[in-house]
Structure 1
Amino acid sequence: MTFEPLTAERRRAMTRQHLLDAAAIVFARNGFHGSTLDEVAATAGFTKGAVYSNFKSKDDLFLELLDDRVDRQFAVVTEILETGSHEAAEQFPRIREILRSDMFWGDEFVTLWLEFVLYARRNPEAQEKLAASAQRSRVQVQALIEHEYATIGVSPRYPVRDLAEISLALFGGLGIDRLVNPSAVTDETLDTTLSFLYDAMGVEREGERS
């Protein structure tokens, strides 16, 4: 068996991913303000120069980490919507299950996100970048909703952009509420929220709760 040598582009992509993985560890341990690029580099096993050759600043590194996490979340949801049955009654329990998982509800990540939001509130450049990241997520949600409508042949009852914004606001708000009062946001709360969104979209489904 022969192996082709890694291209420069592939090596750079691998280095970038190693840095993102290391940043996730460091940020989770120290918070955004308590983390340094030196520590990220050391955790990844690279020099600080390697960090700066991939990311211009700690802000950019954090936002790339945020986008990377969101991309993984959407990849899972997209797979559910595009494979198997397109019946909402069968999709609902699968989507419900992943929404209950740590992939979507990691308290540490929600805390980090809030920390960066407060920081960006007083930093116009960071605010602009965070807004661009949020818009990116909104476009992804909107694309998922539009795909679902097209698949089942149903016309939207409300503007799809508004449905995307409301979806993000609902789950984001629940994530914050769970930090304040963990017992207030239960699996049943998530089920009710998902049911509400299905109903708002005018998608017929059979209610399944467990």
Structure 2
Amino acid sequence: MTAPFEPLTPERRRAITRQHLLDAAAMVFSRLGFHGASLDEVAKTAGFTKGAVYSNFKGKEDLFLALLEEHMARQFVVMTDALDTQSRTREEQLPRLAQAIRAEMWDDDFTLLWLEFVLYAARNPEAKSKLAAWSENQRNLIESLIQAEFAQQGPPPRYPTRFLAIVSTAIFNGLGLEHLFNPSVSGDDEMAMLLSFFYDAMGTEEPGSTDTAPR
């Protein structure tokens, strides 16, 4: 039996429109870059008017930052699943975490866009402030993952979780840039070794391990 048709609420219709615009923006930014992309092209690709873009986003900067937020949210979900220590052993978890990082964090097209926007924001105070706020949110999410991991492990970390989040962000952003020019340095095996090294440096055992790490 076919379910009865339910008309879209204005809120639901707006959310659908916004997602279509984000999907279109991802394609346009990837093809043309941040500077080359235009809101006209985004609207055309999405099948909407330019007014629809402005009714959902203040401008190109806000649209790009919304894409960053969407990307970060997807990373958080994938990383949270990969860090599920209750259902996976250490041997299973490290490769899964390495694959998750490579798949979600080291997207060359996205890295190029992010780098282009960073350079733009460095010369634009308003954009710089917005990017700084996004970066702060990114660190907060990473810190929450680290805190959850230590809560499951039991012993406290050797360093403050805020510091660990900053270091993690710097390492993975740097490796993302390195991946643009030398993908061989960031294979699954290399990534697993880096994660093992990072867990040792944090002062705890590797995820899922039952051994006590040296303090």
TM-score normalised over the length of structure 1: 0.91
Tell me how far apart the structure 2 counterparts of residues 178 and 110 of structure 1 sit (CA, whole Å): 9
Q: 2-side partners of 1:121 and 1:89: how far apart?
A: 42
Q: Which amino acid in the other structure matches residue 197 of structure 2?
A: F
Correspondence 1:135-174 to 2 at 5 A? 135-174=136-175
CA distance, structure 2, for counterparts of residue 87 and residue 145 of structure 1: 18
Per-residue deviation, residues 64-123 of structure 1 (Å, max 9, x unmatched)? 10110110011111123347526544322211121222x321101100100000000000
Aligned residue type for 2:17: T
Inter-CA distance 18–83: structure 2 relative to 1 (3 Å threshold)? farther
1:53 matched to 2:47: no
Give runs of aligned pairs for residues 31-110 of structure 1, distance below 5 A.
31-82=33-84, 84-85=86-87, 87-101=89-103, 103-110=104-111
User: Contact 2:105/2:176 (CA < 8 Å) preserved in 1?
Assistant: no
CA distance in structure 2 between the aligned counterparts of 1:93 and 1:190, rounded to whole angstroms = 8
Check the 8 A contact 1:27/1:35 in 2, yes or no.
Answer: yes
Q: For residue 27 of structure 2, what is the aligned residue in structure 1?
A: 25
In structure 1, stretches of 5+ residues that fail to align are none
**Structure 1 position 203, deviation (Å):** 3.1
SS at match of 1:32: helix
Question: What is residue 188 of structure 1 aligned with on the other side?
Answer: 189
In structure 2, give the amino acid aligned to 1:94.
R
Counterparts of 2:164 and 2:85, CA distance in 1? 23
Are the structure 2 counterparts of residues 91 and 186 from structure 1 closer, same or farther at C-alpha, using a change threshold of 3 Å? Answer: closer
Distance 2:178 2:102 in 1: 15
Give structure 1 regions of 4+ aligned residues with deviation exceeding 6 angstroms. none
Alpha-carbon shift at residue 195 of structure 1 (Å):
1.6
Describe the SS at the equivalent of 1:156: coil
Q: Flag structure 2 segments of 5+ consecutive residues without an equivalent.
A: 209-215
Question: 1:111 — aligned with what?
Answer: 112
Please give the TM-score of this superposition, normalised by the length of structure 2: 0.89
Matched AA of 2:42: V
Q: Which residue of 2 aligns with 1:200?
A: 201
Aligned-residue identity in percent:
59
Change (3 A) 1:39 1:145: same
> CA separation in 1, counterparts of 2:207 and 2:135?
32
Aligned residues: 206
